[in-house]
Amino acid sequence: MADKIKKVSIIVSKGSLDGVYPGLILANGARMEGIEANLFFTFFGMDAIVTKRMGKIKVATVGNPGMHMPSLLGILPGFSAFATSMMMKTMDKLDIPPVPEFVEMVADAGCKLYACKATVDMFKLKKEDFCPQVDSIINVGKFYEISAGGEIIFT
């Protein structure tokens, strides 16, 4: 059998609900298996750790064939909020927490959270804009340094 995975660094680059959850579940699942885990939030994925945005992440209802409905419906006002609330209810039953609680849980589990420097500069964000679980704002070089010796997963 191959060696066990000891460390993962997961990049979250998308800001939709379906863009954010896989990274959080992978990171939390890693910690549950005793695997060291880092989360690196970049581009729109950063919404998941920005205090005033993390609770408002929505399902992408437009341009998402997986929704199994015409995109034209997806543009209706409130549709994304409706689809999100339906999905959140289902997830809550499965004990998958909403994004802010999930971020707290994964941090409590010992996963380290980082924000991407380039995105922070681009969106003119400050350290205070982030939830307290965020360890620091780092550049790509630092990300590779932190990820050394482990697997890197891009989501």
Partner 1 sequence: MAQKQYGAATVDVDDEGFLADFTQWTREVAAAIARDEGVAELTPAHWKVIEFMQKEFKENGQAPSIRKLNKSGVISTKELYDLFPGGPAKKAAKISGLKKPEGCV
SS3 151: strand
- Minimum distance from residue 79 beta carbon to partner 1 (Å): 27
Q: What residues from 33 to 72 belong to the interface with partner 1 (CB under 8 A)?
A: 33-34
**Rounded-to-5 percentages of helix, strand, coil across the chain:** 50, 20, 35
Binding segment (CB under 8 A) for partner 1, from list 29-37, 59-67, 77-85, 128-136: 29-37
**Using the rule CB under 8 A, is 1 a contact of partner 1?**
no
Give the residue from 49, 24, 42 showing the smallest Cα distance to 111. Answer: 24
**Using the rule CB under 8 A, is 97 a contact of partner 1?**
yes
Q: Binding pattern to partner 1, positions 108-127, x when CB under 8 A?
A: xxx-----------------
Nearest-Å Rg of the Cα atoms of the chain is 16
CB 107 within 8 A of CB 114: no
**Using the rule CB under 8 A, is 98 a contact of partner 1?**
no
DSSP character for 45?
G
Among 74, 82, 87, 96, binds partner 1 (CB under 8 A): 96
- Minimum distance from residue 134 beta carbon to partner 1 (Å): 17
Which stretches does DSSP call E strand in 3-155? 7-12, 36-41, 112-116, 134-138, 151-154
**Using the rule CB under 8 A, is 14 a contact of partner 1?**
no
Binding segment (CB under 8 A) for partner 1, from list 8-16, 38-46, 59-67, 92-100: 92-100
CB 24 within 8 A of CB 98: no
**Using the rule CB under 8 A, is 94 a contact of partner 1?**
yes
Give the residue from 59, 57, 62, 60 showing the smallest Cα distance to 47. Answer: 57
**Using the rule CB under 8 A, is 89 a contact of partner 1?**
no
Contacting residues toward partner 1, per CB under 8 A:
25, 28-29, 31-34, 94-97, 101, 105, 108-110
